[in-house]
Amino acid sequence: MSNTDAATSSPPKAPGMRDLLANRNYCYLVFAQFVSDLGDGVYALALLWAMKILTGSGVQMSMVLTAELIPTILIGIFAGVFVDLGKKKAFLLTADICRGVVVAALGFLWYTSQLQPWMLVAAAVLLSSFSAFFTPARMVSLRTLVPAENMMKAQSVSQTIQTVVGLCAPALSAILLAFNVSFSFWFNAASFLLSFLLILFIRHADLNKKKEGKADFTAIKASLKVGFKTVFQTALLRNLILYVVLLNFMFAPVSVLFPLYADTANALASYDIAFFVGILLGSIALGFFSKARKIVPMTVGLLLILGGFFGLVYCNAFALVLACMVLIGLGMPITNGTLMTVFMTAVPQEVLGRAGSTMNVLSQCAKPISLSMIGSLILLFSVRDLFLYISILGLAVVVLMVLNPTVRKAE
């Protein structure tokens, strides 16, 4: 065989990170994600701090968090239908402008001493409602702009962005809050404006296409049915959704258990930093699993998370606890990024918004139940015992996943 024949028969080189970053439209979208998520991170802390200053009530602060979750469940299932039928770019731009106006208004009301607690709750509902449309629109846009073979690397970038935001947003918000709460709200408004401008530069015909037909009740009902059918008639997704719901149910209380595990505020801050360091490392590591069967990174990620939880049961030394937090953070993006890649490549692009909303609502529904139960369980068991039970139950889910031939063979 000649050298020419050998060169001709050699397999084409798989697209890499350089190819991904050479995609200008993708870069606009990912930079928009960064500035928008950074603003959201600053806003999240400011929202709770503002409620604390206005009321000093933990119940009122819980109401704000609940208000953010309700639209995700109630509106999210319908939002995907409209996203699939409509112009994706228009949804992204509209959501950014509307959210920017809401948080800018909060900043003005606080600055003029007119802000009331109910306004914070109302704003949380409005922002979450617009985000319910923005999230599936961004998901579909990402799938449109990035080829399937490069999706794992794109997810790695997204996970890295979330990690950087997680590290930077609290510190930035603390600086802004030291001057005035309004500055945090206005910073978020500015981030939505910048996100709007970046998305405006995206040039892709498919993001501006609107499908034929009207979004009347019959069409919405039919589209919802398509979304559910896509999830439950696709063998891989039907199997995965059960595991995702179980994992969300088990992991949701962790946000409550971590503060209870820490003895001091400084210790909790150190745990958070170690956790996000782990997420950063995991986001980088995710890209190395692009050629492996998806069960490999899912299993590795979950074992790292569960190993960290198990370590918290018995570790007393501060350095060892930090190491456990790094392990937990390390496993998060490896698991989540892989699950998202499997979903986005398994679902046909034309129904991705509907199926994505269906998956999101189904997985989110487990969180309120789990969080409502943890209050009673804390009275019966110690925090370390609860971490032990989470580890054992999580290991059982991992075993079920590995033994499931449909999940195990996913490419």
Domain assignment of residue 166, yes or no: yes
Q: Looking at the structure, tell me whether residues 270 and 167 fall in a common domain.
A: no
Provide the number of structural domains found in the chain: 2
Q: Looking at the structure, tell me whether residues 231 and 198 fall in a common domain.
A: no
pLDDT at 370 over 80: no
Q: 286: domain range?
A: 224-411
Domain assignment of residue 86, yes or no: yes
**In the predicted model, what is the mean pLDDT of the chain?**
81
Q: Looking at the structure, tell me whether residues 191 and 321 fall in a common domain.
A: no
Contact 349, 204 (CB under 8 A): no
Confidence (pLDDT) at 7: 47
**Where residue 6 falls among pLDDT bands split at 50, 70, 90?**
very low
Domain assignment of residue 278, yes or no: yes
Domain assignment of residue 238, yes or no: yes
Q: Looking at the structure, tell me whether residues 247 and 196 fall in a common domain.
A: no
Lowest average pLDDT, out of 104-108, 259-263, 291-295, goes to: 259-263
Domain assignment of residue 3, yes or no: no
Q: Looking at the structure, tell me whether residues 25 and 149 fall in a common domain.
A: yes
Helix axes 366-380, 235-251, angle to 10 degrees: 40
Report in angstroms the alpha-carbon separations of 75 from 87, 97, 213, 221, 361. 18, 19, 21, 14, 9
Write out pLDDT tens, residues 282-334: 888 887 887 788 888 889 999 999 999 999 999 889 999 999 999 998 998 88
Q: How far apart are CA 397 and CA 177, in angstroms?
A: 42
Q: Looking at the structure, tell me whether residues 392 and 361 fall in a common domain.
A: yes
Neighbour count for residue 12 (Cβ, 10 Å): 5
pLDDT at 228 over 90: no
Confidence (pLDDT) at 310: 95
Confidence (pLDDT) at 45: 77
Confidence (pLDDT) at 208: 82
Write out pLDDT tens, residues 50-96: 887 888 655 566 677 677 777 877 787 677 777 877 888 999 999 99
Q: Which residues in 79-101 are b (16+ Cβ under 10 Å) and which e?
A: bbbbbbbbbbbebbbbbbebbbe
Where a domain ends, among 148, 170, 202?
202
Domain assignment of residue 211, yes or no: no
Q: Looking at the structure, tell me whether residues 152 and 32 fall in a common domain.
A: yes
Mean pLDDT, rounded, for 92-103:
94
Q: Looking at the structure, tell me whether residues 94 and 145 fall in a common domain.
A: yes
Report in angstroms the alpha-carbon separations of 51 from 41, 58, 60, 63, 65. 16, 9, 7, 10, 11
Q: Looking at the structure, tell me whether residues 97 and 232 fall in a common domain.
A: no
Domain assignment of residue 212, yes or no: no
Write the single-letter amino acid at 121. V
Q: Looking at the structure, tell me whether residues 262 and 182 fall in a common domain.
A: no
Which residues, in sequence order, are CB contacts of 115 under 8 Å at separation 6+? 50, 54, 106, 109
Mean pLDDT, rounded, for 8-24:
66
> Is the model more confident about 343 or about 65?
343
Find where tokens 């490549």 sit.
Answer: 345
Q: Looking at the structure, tell me whether residues 70 and 158 fall in a common domain.
A: yes
pLDDT at 378 over 80: no
Write out pLDDT tens, residues 146-199: 887 777 788 778 877 877 787 777 778 778 877 888 999 999 999 999 999 999
Domain assignment of residue 215, yes or no: no
Q: Looking at the structure, tell me whether residues 341 and 245 fall in a common domain.
A: yes
**Where residue 226 falls among pLDDT bands split at 50, 70, 90?**
confident
CATH number of the domain to which 94 belongs: 1.20.1250.20
